[in-house]
Amino acid sequence: MRLPDIPEPHRRLVRSIVTVGTSALALVRRRDFTPEHETAARFGNALASAGVAWLAGTQAFAGEVGDDFDLGAAFGPFSPGAGQPVRYSTDDHVADEDTAARTQTVLNAATAAASGLVSWALWDSTQTISDYIDARLPAGVGRGLGAIASGSIVALSAAVIDRLEAASNLEEMDFAPVEIELPEHIRAAVERLLSQPHPVSADTAEAVREQFASARFFVWVTYSSDLHSGNGPVRLEPEQLVQLLADEEITCIEVYPESTCTRVIPAAQTYPIIGLSTEPPPPPRELSLDIVDGHLRRLDFDVSESDPAPTHAEDLPRDSAPGTLHPDGLDPANGLFGEFSGFGAGDDDCDEEHLTLSRWPGPEELTFRTDRE
């Protein structure tokens, strides 16, 4: 059973309660209660201390357990411990998020219980010290100074945590899917591809067209952690989405059609019509449609790979028979691995410009071929 924790969006409320609660506890004096009520006051003080400690350990106050804050990044290279991460949990950093969350809440509950027990045990000592200070200050000044000091420490701690979090998130990047409106030039290119005569069955083309018309589209993008709030989806402003897509290399668009659409047969295939790019930059690319389990799953626009000419039985070495091993491959002239010798990418591939969505082709930039050609 997972103990409850307070989510990050409620951070301001939680921090206000902790600050006010800590200040209020500093106002409590034993002499305010009659002897017969002192035990109840002592218990209430311990319970309030435990509650404040629990709130101070929640995600809404201190952030998620597992965050590593670099003091050097926050306060400069000359601060103590510069460059050394401050860990707010003993949880193994490779544990999954759910295990880390359970660990956080259990440790927080244990810390809160310990705070309540300490408050109960030190009641007499802390009250004696408070009475000693009050006796040497004008009436009410001791309580007021104690409340202000306690609340200020909590507020300062919250501000330091925020600064550490901001510093640790400066260079943190994540990778996630974002839903998009399919750009019109890409939609038109796919529509043009689907309008080509299908080499086998017009019903197949119509099924794919129906799925494409009903589909939602997603691409994977790299984004800064400052866009991420909590664990739920993040609704981006239009300009934020434009900025994310501006420089992101995208060779694949994920497609999610409605489940009620007609299924494609065969259920697993690459649609037998391919769009070939006719415009620069090189290298040439192909627009293809990937179908999985009878549904359109992906639009790909990637570098075309020319397959080697097929090798037939009569092209094989005549002196070979079952049990003949060919260490140099079946075609030594093409290298040790024969048809598989083309590993790695050339220098020209590394210099090509990122393929952003805006650089995907429109229908006028494509020629089409089918599997029968």
User: In 3D, which of 217, 180, 194, 204 has the Cα closest to residue 363?
Assistant: 194
Q: What is the DSSP letter of 119?
A: H
| pLDDT (tens digit per residue) in 125-136 | 988 998 888 888
235 assigned to some structural domain = yes
Q: Binning pLDDT at 50, 70 and 90, where does residue 118 land?
A: very high
Residue 78, domain member (yes or no)? yes
Residue 2 inside a domain? The answer is no
Residues 164 and 177 in one domain: no
Q: Establish if 45 belongs to a structural domain.
A: yes
* pLDDT (tens digit per residue) in 238-297: 888 898 898 889 999 999 999 999 999 899 999 999 999 887 656 788 999 999 999 999
| SS3 category, 45 | helix
User: What secondary structure does DSSP assign to 283-322, as a single string?
Assistant: SPEEEEEEEETTEEEEEEEEE--PPPPPPPGGGS-TT--T
Say which residues have a Cβ less than 8 Å from residue 22's Cβ, sequence separation at least 6: 52, 150, 151, 153, 154
**What mean pLDDT value characterizes the chain?**
80
- Give me the residues paired with residue 290 across strands: 270, 298
Final residue belonging to a domain, choices 119, 146, 168: 168
Q: Is residue 333 part of a domain?
A: no
Asked if residue 235 has pLDDT above 70, the reply is yes
Q: Does residue 332 sit within a domain?
A: no
Tell me, yes or no, whether 53 and 149 share the same domain. Answer: yes
Instruction: Give residue-wise pLDDT tens across range 328-348.
Output: 777 755 543 444 433 344 444
Query: Helices (DSSP H) in the chain: which residue ranges?
Result: 11-27, 38-56, 59-62, 71-75, 97-121, 123-135, 141-168, 184-194, 202-214, 238-246, 347-351
Both 363 and 241 in a single domain? yes
Q: Does residue 3 lie in a domain region?
A: no
Q: 269 in helix, strand or coil?
A: strand
pLDDT over threshold 60, residue 206? yes
Q: Of 133, 149, 168, which residue constitutes the final position of a domain?
A: 168
Whether residues 163 and 74 share a domain: the answer is yes
Residue ending a domain, among 168, 202, 236, is: 168
Are 155 and 204 within one domain? no
What is the value of pTM for the model shown? 0.50
- In DSSP notation, 68-109 reads EEEHHHHH-TTSTTTTPEEES--S-TTS-HHHHHHHHHHHHH
| Rounded (5°) CA angle 134-139-143 | 55
Which domain range does residue 48 map to? 8-168
In the chain, the amino acid numbered 168 is S
Same domain, 242 and 132: no
* CA 194 and chain centroid, separation: 35
Share above pLDDT 90 across residues of the chain, in percent, rounded to a whole number = 37
